[in-house]
Structure 1
Amino acid sequence: MPPPPPLHLHFLPILFSSLLLLISAELPEFREAPAFRNGRDCPATAWPDHPRQGGADDDTIHIAMTLDTTYLRGSVAGVFSVLQHASCPENIVFHFVAASRRRPDLRRTVASTFPYLTFRLYHFNADLVRGKITYSIRRALDQPLNYARMYLADLLPTSVRRIVYFDSDLIVVDDVAKLWSIDLRDRVLGAPEYCHANFTAYFSPGFWSSPAHAAALRGRRPCYFNTGVMVIDLWRWREGKYTERLEGWMRIQKRERIYELGSLPPFLLVFAGEVEGVEHRWNQHGLGGDNVRGQCRNLHPGPVSLLHWSGKGKPWLRLDSRRPCPLDSLWAPYDLLRHPSLFCDS
């Protein structure tokens, strides 16, 4: 009688069935968003049919977001919030980046939820970063799509000079044109900076003890910034080969383990101290709590134009579990998920 197969082989059919179920599972259904139209004072825009050279003088606002099945509900809420508060919503173009094989399904979902939206969907080749990623303190930070923001200059048309990048766990409660129009001066990147944060804590003692690594920040006054909200000059990015610079730090991380937080530290190493500061109102971040427990947090002092649930806790998950944080109620009005019923017998 032959010996029984190893125990782990018994679970292969179950695992395979689970993967098939995941791949074939229906995406969430969303209510159709209303048509948001321009007012009389909005300038005409010809993009994408006849974009002006470089796109710099065009009146189109370009926004980039990643798109996947896990964060789809958050992405839809984010798009809805941008359109609802925009002074010229028809002048906004969304550039979605997806690595999933379900890109056709994601495209159909966006098109059916926002029939009047101008958008493009780009394929992100996860193999570009798969071999460069090291495990961090939270699994979501290790997904290849989390690194797609590093490759926007390669993915988007050269006619797009400037992009606003948004994470998929935020809502905008102000006119995005105000953020879009900030003066980057000679900077490549603009974002809210937080200079009171302990910058050294984002890197290991081994990083700081290496003269070669620490020299990368010499002559700069580095401050923390959150990469979930950025205004990027794609022309200057390409000219300065910033994707290659970020990849260089990822290779060092792979060899030496100099940080613990996914795609954020390379951005800090390359850009901190050279960021054009943006008002803090444009990234009230950390509302998802820390990366381990995801506890409830309050807003930072000051005005609010954008609420960002960075961290482990996501508002849609906490609302569904009926254990929301107080600020999750601010996200709920932008949730377009089509619930089966508002009433039930139980």
Structure 2
Amino acid sequence: MTLRRVNVVILILLAVAFLIIVQRNLLKLSDFLHKENSDAEQILPFEAELSPQARLKTGAKGEEISVLITAAEDRLGGVIAAINSVHHNSKANVAFTIVTPNDTVDHLKAWMSNTKLKEVKYKIVIFQPELLNGKIPKDTSMLDAAKPLTFARFYLPVYIPDAEKAIYLDDDVVVQGDIQELYETSLKPGHAAAFSDDCDSASAKGIVRGAGNQINYMGFLDFKKEAIKKLGMRANTCSFNPGVIIANLTEWKNQNITQQLEHWMELNSQVDLYSSTLAESLTTPPLLIVFYKRHSSIDPRWHLRHLGTTGAGNRYSAQYVRAAKLLHWNGHYKPWMGTSSFTEVWDQWFIPDPTGKFHPVRRHAD
């Protein structure tokens, strides 16, 4: 009797153990199926709303590449061409932050949503000009130089708060290479940004009218002013072009770069610190001060500059322009104005405005 009871107990225990194992496996299977269904619910509707091209972009591998660009109403065609060139030439996971005035939002949305740019991943941020109160001169003669949107690059961590690294692009550029390569530019330890030095080639001096001082710090800052003298900067230091910026946003925030830039903006509004030679834009001088000998360099192929200045067409060959990864029409002459060099290159990336408001000016228009 005792042996039988023991055997019965053993059988009961084995049966219970078997049932427990079966139950656990069923629970795991249920969880797995639930997860699969949950994932499908999250992914399928999202994909169904996008074209195959958009799904390919969304599924691109690698971390998200944050790109900030500003969009003014009278330069919106440039913004469209720049975004289109980046989107077309990159397989990376690019996300645009477009900073624009409130009165440009509807036009921008219509242009993006009614063309192939509807595939682009972007968000629109309204620029608040009140941000610059007390930081730029009130002199009406400086209105062109003090266009509020030009200062958006000072606030990169504000507009792109969650990224560790970001790219800023002027609206008068087109990108001919994969922007992933530009994004992977190595910044030296402790550097918050990388720029293109304007003395990085023998031809650069000839491209900027006047040469000499006009490409160094003396062209932008008044070294007779005490506040500039105290900095101990060398007047003949090569300047850099802030139309393309690669920013380490972690360092930017740790070093309070935005606050430093604001300090020099405010000081200049009280005591004119900038040279009249090249300081047509009020954005470059504060950057030159804050990043004096504290910035990394961008590969010259990734920032071919001065295409909007007089004589650029004679300085660069068509082959050289085609080989460059990024073209920049900095200067007075923009490709949508019909007066710049290599306008035909920019035209490849321009998308006609579906609203009919923006029309590039062309010399030989009918």
Which band: TM-score by shorter chain?
0.7 to 0.9
Q: Residue 228 of structure 1 aligns to a residue in which SS?
A: strand
Distance 1:150 1:203 in 2: 18
Show the 5 A alignment for 1:249-288: 249-259=264-274, 260=276, 261=279, 262-288=282-308
Tell me which residue corresponds to 1:182.
185
Tell me which residue corresponds to 1:102.
104
Q: Residue 248 of structure 1 aligns to a residue in which SS?
A: helix
Question: Structure 1: which amino acid aligns with 2:78?
Answer: G
Tell me which residue corresponds to 1:6.
none
Distance 1:313 1:139 in 2: 19
Shift of 1:297: 1.5
2:222 maps to 1:204: yes
Residue pair 1:68, 1:106 contacting (<8 A) in 2 also: no
Question: Structure 1: which amino acid aligns with 2:332?
Answer: K
Show the 5 A alignment for 1:45-64: 59-64=63-68
Q: TM-score, normalised by structure 2?
A: 0.69
Shift of 1:300: 5.4
Q: Deviations over 1:224-260 (max 9, x none)?
A: 1111100001121111111111111111211221114
Aligned length: 281
Residue pair 1:162, 1:234 contacting (<8 A) in 2 also: yes
Task: Report percent identity of matched pairs.
Answer: 24
Tell me which residue corresponds to 1:155.
159
Question: Structure 1: which amino acid aligns with 2:312?
Answer: R
Residue among 110, 127, 136 paired with 1:124: 127
Shift of 1:130: 4.2
Tell me which residue corresponds to 2:30.
none
Tell me which residue corresponds to 2:71.
67
Tell me which residue corresponds to 1:225.
240
Shift of 1:177: 0.7
Unaligned runs of 5+ in 1: 1-32, 46-57, 290-294, 319-323
Tell me which residue corresponds to 2:48.
none
Residue pair 1:68, 1:100 contacting (<8 A) in 2 also: no
Residue among 247, 256, 260 paired with 1:241: 256
Shift of 1:316: 0.7
Residue pair 1:66, 1:148 contacting (<8 A) in 2 also: yes
Shift of 1:84: 1.7
Q: Deviations over 1:194-235 (max 9, x none)?
A: 34733222112433xx2x423324499943111110000112
Residue pair 1:217, 1:269 contacting (<8 A) in 2 also: no
Residue pair 2:216, 2:236 contacting (<8 A) in 1 also: no
Residue pair 2:307, 2:341 contacting (<8 A) in 1 also: no
Q: TM-score, normalised by structure 1?
A: 0.73
Which one has a larger percent helix, Structure 1 or Structure 2?
2
Q: Residue 245 of structure 2 aligns to a residue in which SS?
A: strand
Tell me which residue corresponds to 2:330.
310
Question: Structure 1: which amino acid aligns with 2:123?
Answer: R
Distance 1:146 1:64 in 2: 12
Greater alpha carbon shift after TM alignment, 60-69 vs 136-145? 136-145
Tell me which residue corresponds to 2:349.
334
Shift of 1:335: 1.3
Shift of 1:338: 4.5
Distance 1:307 1:36 in 2: 26
2:150 maps to 1:146: yes
